[in-house]
């Protein structure tokens, strides 16, 4: 098989398939990326990926190449995993998909044999039938019976992509042809040694919508709990963490993605919310709930900075320490990260910023340039700061104690991800936490016990 596009999705997918004994061509037009990966240097941080790639290359199951023609000739299933970023006008940018699909069609024109094209890239609902199929038909000159076409979205999360691939909760296969559905079912059955997860088969449109709707639902869940956190902050003695724990015990609600914080970031949620809203508006069914979740999230960094302003007593000239800049732990990705929004807002207010992150600082530096100080450790980050904001819940921050903040000018800690025990910090320094009510009343701690 061949995987076209070796980014955050394509490379883990190609390496994982190869690690399970399939012969996989990993194709990318970027030669420098290919030579880096061949040499064991993965261009982004993803736990376990380097080892997986190394093993697959050693076993010769993974071939990294820019030679589309040779890979195409030797493959039956062609996975499209190129990026679909948001264009300047807010619409989805399909240029990479167009380029790959056009060249797949052209190669089909010149070669015999039935190929199955599988769209893994996240594409706006309707794209497969309205854009990809016509492009393939046009560039190949073949009839629709002469090739297969399916949508097979991925649900990988950055930072645990390999784990997610090893034990997915579901596989969604969308196609208009039974033969394509059967071929993919057979492939996944083999990939998971005869014990695949639940496979839902449907048409291409539903498969495309499922991908977007899943992300939008998770994003909405986060905005819901974050708004509830605002309420808890204004209510004496309330604590959103306990509220979310109690809600999560209801299986219908579930505890996942109910962690209040500074807001969601990353390259997927906002982009996908906007794309889904556009698709829905096109058919006259605006998604107001998704819109509200998105609007709330984009206003959140500004509100957090206003709150900091009040807590610190004016932000102009103050040094603010940001602990963590990655959009979540386990990755060095800062695309659409809340840290960037917060930093820009703080700079507008005239603050000086010092940032520390175990691995994402180089990417943050690329985005923010000389406008920030980049600290080599937690202690140098918080030194002489007027306020410290915990932005990303990396493990190494979880063990910090009030003593670690003693070198601050004003000892103010804002726990933006609820990783600290308020009892440990309250009274030792000014401690504020997302979703923790005013005048935190200790009372007995929340506990869970069996019946």
CB of 314 to ligand UGA, least distance (A): 28
CB of 333 to ligand UGA, least distance (A): 8
268 counts as catalytic:
yes
**Nearest to 412, CA basis, from 301, 319, 300:** 319
In this structure, are residues 170 and 200 in contact, taking their beta carbons and an 8 Å threshold?
yes
CB of 420 to ligand UGA, least distance (A): 16
CB of 273 to ligand UGA, least distance (A): 11
- The Cα 239–Cα 232 span in angstroms is 6
Binding interface with ligand UGA (CB under 6 A): 122, 154-158, 215, 218, 222, 257-259, 261, 264-266, 268-269, 327-328
- The Cα 430–Cα 434 span in angstroms is 14
Instruction: Name the E strands within 228-339.
Output: 319-323
CB of 71 to ligand UGA, least distance (A): 24
- Give the nearer residue to ligand UGA in terms of CB position, either 38 or 303: 303
In this structure, are residues 218 and 294 in contact, taking their beta carbons and an 8 Å threshold?
no
CB of 47 to ligand UGA, least distance (A): 13
- Give the nearer residue to ligand UGA in terms of CB position, either 32 or 167: 167
- Give the nearer residue to ligand UGA in terms of CB position, either 108 or 290: 290
- Give the nearer residue to ligand UGA in terms of CB position, either 238 or 293: 293
- Give the nearer residue to ligand UGA in terms of CB position, either 435 or 437: 435
75 phi-psi bin (left φ>0, alpha ψ -120 to 50, beta other) = beta
In this structure, are residues 126 and 208 in contact, taking their beta carbons and an 8 Å threshold?
yes
192, 258, 324 from 226: Cα distances, Å = 38, 9, 19
- Give the nearer residue to ligand UGA in terms of CB position, either 136 or 326: 326
**Nearest to 158, CA basis, from 295, 368, 360, 3:** 360
DSSP secondary structure letter of residue 171:
E
3-state helix, strand, coil in the chain (%, to 5): 45, 15, 40
Helix (H) / strand (E) containing 245 = helix 240-248
Q: In this structure, what token pair is assigned to residue 182?
A: 């059967």
- Give the nearer residue to ligand UGA in terms of CB position, either 300 or 352: 300
Burial state string for 134-144 with b = 16 or more CB within 10 A and e = fewer than 16: ebbbebbebee
Q: In this structure, what token pair is assigned to residue 332?
A: 């060095």
- SS3 assignment, position 18: helix
Count the helices and strands in the chain (H runs, E runs): 18, 14
Active-site annotation holder among 232, 268, 372, 387:
268
Q: How far is CA 392 from the centre of its chain?
A: 14
- Give the nearer residue to ligand UGA in terms of CB position, either 154 or 309: 154
Q: How many CA atoms lie within 13 A of 415 on its CB side?
A: 30
CB of 179 to ligand UGA, least distance (A): 27
CB of 295 to ligand UGA, least distance (A): 16
- Give the nearer residue to ligand UGA in terms of CB position, either 105 or 266: 266
- The Cα 98–Cα 101 span in angstroms is 5
DSSP secondary structure letter of residue 159:
T
- The Cα 117–Cα 201 span in angstroms is 16
For 158, residues 6+ apart whose C-beta sits below 8 A from its C-beta are 8, 46, 266, 327, 328, 330, 331, 333
CB of 262 to ligand UGA, least distance (A): 7
Q: Which residues are catalytic?
A: 268
């Amino acid at each position: 098989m061949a995987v076209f596009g070796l980014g955050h999705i394509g490379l883990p997918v190609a390496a994982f398939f190869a690690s399970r004994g399939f012969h996989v061509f990993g194709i990318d037009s970027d030669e420098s990326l290919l030579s880096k990966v061949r040499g064991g240097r993965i261009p982004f941080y993803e736990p376990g990926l380097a080892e997986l790639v190394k093993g697959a290359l050693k076993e010769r199951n993974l071939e990294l190449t820019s030679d589309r023609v040779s890979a195409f000739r030797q493959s039956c299933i062609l996975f499209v995993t190129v990026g679909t970023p948001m264009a300047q006008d807010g619409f989805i940018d399909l240029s990479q998909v167009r380029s790959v699909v056009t060249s797949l069609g052209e190669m089909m024109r010149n070669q015999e044999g039935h190929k199955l094209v599988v769209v893994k890239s996240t594409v706006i609902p309707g794209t497969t039938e309205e854009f990809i199929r016509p492009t393939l038909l046009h560039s190949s000159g073949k009839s629709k019976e002469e090739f297969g076409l399916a949508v097979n979205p991925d649900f990988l999360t950055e930072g645990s992509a390999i784990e997610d691939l090893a034990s997915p909760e579901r596989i969604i296969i969308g196609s208009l042809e039974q033969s394509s559905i059967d071929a993919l079912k057979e492939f996944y059955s083999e990939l998971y040694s005869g014990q695949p997860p639940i496979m839902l088969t449907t048409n291409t449109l539903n498969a495309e919508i499922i991908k977007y709707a899943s992300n939008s639902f998770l994003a909405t869940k986060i905005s819901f709990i974050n708004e509830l956190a605002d309420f808890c902050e204004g209510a004496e003695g309330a604590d959103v963490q306990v509220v979310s724990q109690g809600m999560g015990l209801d299986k219908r609600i579930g505890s996942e993605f109910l962690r209040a914080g500074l807001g969601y970031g990353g390259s997927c949620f906002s982009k996908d919310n906007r794309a889904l809203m556009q698709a829905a508006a096109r058919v006259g069914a605006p998604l107001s709930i998704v819109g509200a979740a998105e609007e709330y999230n984009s206003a959140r960094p500004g509100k957090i900075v206003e709150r900091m302003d009040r807590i610190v007593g004016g932000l102009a000239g103050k040094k603010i320490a940001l602990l963590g800049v990655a959009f979540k732990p386990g990755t060095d990705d800062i695309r659409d990260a809340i840290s960037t929004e917060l930093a820009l807002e703080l700079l507008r207010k005239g603050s000086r910023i010092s940032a520390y992150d175990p691995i994402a600082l180089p990417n943050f530096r690329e985005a923010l340039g000389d406008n920030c100080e980049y600290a080599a450790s937690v202690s140098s980050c918080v030194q002489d700061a007027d306020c410290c904001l915990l932005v990303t819940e990396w493990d190494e921050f979880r063990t910090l104690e009030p003593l670690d903040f003693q070198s601050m000018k004003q000892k103010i800690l804002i726990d933006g991800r609820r990783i600290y025990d308020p009892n440990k910090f309250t009274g030792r320094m000014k401690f504020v936490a997302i979703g923790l009510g005013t005048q935190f009343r200790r009372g007995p701690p929340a506990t869970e016990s069996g019946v």
